[in-house]
A = this chain, B = another copy of it.
Amino acid sequence: MGSQQQQPELAPVGWVESPLRDLAAAPKQGDEGAPNAWLVLDESLLAALNGLAVGDRLLVLTWLDRARRDVLEVFPRGDRSRSPLGVFATRSPDRPNPIGLHRAEVLAIEGNRVQVSELEAVDGTPVLDLKPVLSEDVGER
C-alpha cells in the first residue's frame, strides 16, 4: 500500500476520569444512566482544544483496554436465547480493534480537562480522539 503508509500505532491523547470503576456496572449504552466524566488530555495537546465550547456535541473515541480482541461473534446484550451476531453487526466492546465510540456533550472546559455528559467508559480508559458531531453523522443532508 505504498511507502507513505505509517504503522497504525495509537498514542492515547488522555484518559477518562470517572466514578465508573466497575466494568460489570457499566451500562451498555450512554443513554442508560452512565455518569458524567472528565476527559483529562495531555497538556502538550492543549492547542487541539482551541474552539471547543460548552454545549458542543462530541464523539469521544476511546481504547477499550479490557476488551477481548479475539472475539468475532457475541450474543447481543449477553442474551444467550438470541442468535449470535458478528461483532461488526453489534456495538460489543469485544472486537478486533476495541475502539469505543461515545456520543457526549461538553459540560465544562478547564484547561486540559473537558467534562462530558454520560460517558459509558470506566475510570482510566485511554482517550484516542475527540470529534465534533456533524450533521452527516446524524443523517441530516
Q: CB within 8 Å of B: which residues of A?
A: 1-2, 4-6, 8-13, 15, 29-31, 45, 47-52, 56, 59, 61, 63, 65-66, 69, 72-73, 83-91, 95-97, 99, 101, 103, 124, 126, 128-132, 134, 136-139, 141
* Identical copies of this chain, number: 2
Question: Are A45 and B61 in contact, CB atoms less than 8 angstroms apart?
Answer: no
Contact B56 A89 (CB under 8 A): yes
Contact partner, A65, options B6, B69, B96, B103, Cβ 8 Å: B6
Query: How far is B86's CA from A130's CA once the two chains are assembled, in angstroms?
Result: 10
| A11 contacts across to B, CB distance below 8 A | 69, 96-97
Residue contact B124 to A91, C-beta cutoff 8 Å: no
A49 touches B86 (CB 8 A): yes
